[in-house]
């Protein structure tokens, strides 16, 4: 119950000694610490990739199985990860939420904005 209450109070009593990020639960801190130690206890038996969290391994396994459980309701596109479906939906909505502050160019994905060569930039 105390852990659940923290979701409402915002209390984060568990702090990383390395980067000072705070967490509501001790096991979240323990998982986070693997980023600092480099520990990756979950291994893919098909390609030897290693992961910090078991959920990341499960998501990765879809690369090998071809499973695409996330389908667009507006077209036939399917995705292996829900994080791929979200930016896809912006195509149907016509939204481009990421804007270059210099040239006002707009992009559907932050990654595209970050790699965009702004014509207003002196360095190109």
- What CATH number labels 1-37? 3.30.160.60
Distance CA 34, CA 50 (A): 12
Residue-wise pLDDT tens digits, 38-64: 999 999 999 999 999 999 999 999 999
Name the pLDDT band for 98 (thresholds 50, 70, 90): very high
Mean pLDDT of 85-91: 90
All CATH 3.30.160.60 domain ranges in the chain, comma separated: 1-37, 70-115
Report pLDDT for 122: 73
* Positive or negative torsion for Cα 70, 35, 57, 64: positive
Structure tokens at 97: 């939420």
Residues 70-115: name the CATH superfamily: Classic Zinc Finger (3.30.160.60)
Using CA atoms, how far apart are residues 114 and 38, in angstroms rounded to an integer? 27
In degrees, to the nearest 5, what angle opens at C-alpha 106 toward C-alphas 71 and 68? Answer: 15
Give pLDDT, residue 21.
97
Tokens standing for residue 81: 């990860």
pLDDT 10s digits, 26-36: 999 999 999 99
- The 3-state DSSP class for residue 58 equals helix
If you average pLDDT over every residue of the chain, what do you get? 92
Residue 97 per-residue DSSP state: -
């Amino acid at each position: 119950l105390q852990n659940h209450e923290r979701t409402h109070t915002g209390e984060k009593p568990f702090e990383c000694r390395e980067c000072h990020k705070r967490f509501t639960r001790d096991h979240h801190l323990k998982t986070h610490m693997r980023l600092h130690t480099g520990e990756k206890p979950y291994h893919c038996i098909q390609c030897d990739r290693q992961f910090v969290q078991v959920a990341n391994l499960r998501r990765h396994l879809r690369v090998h199985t071809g499973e695409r459980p996330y389908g667009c309701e507006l077209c036939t596109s399917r995705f292996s990860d829900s994080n791929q479906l979200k930016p896809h939906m912006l195509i149907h909505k016509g939204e481009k939420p990421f804007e270059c502050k210099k040239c006002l160019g707009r992009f559907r994905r932050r990654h595209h904005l970050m790699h965009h060569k702004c014509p207003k930039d002196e360095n190109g």
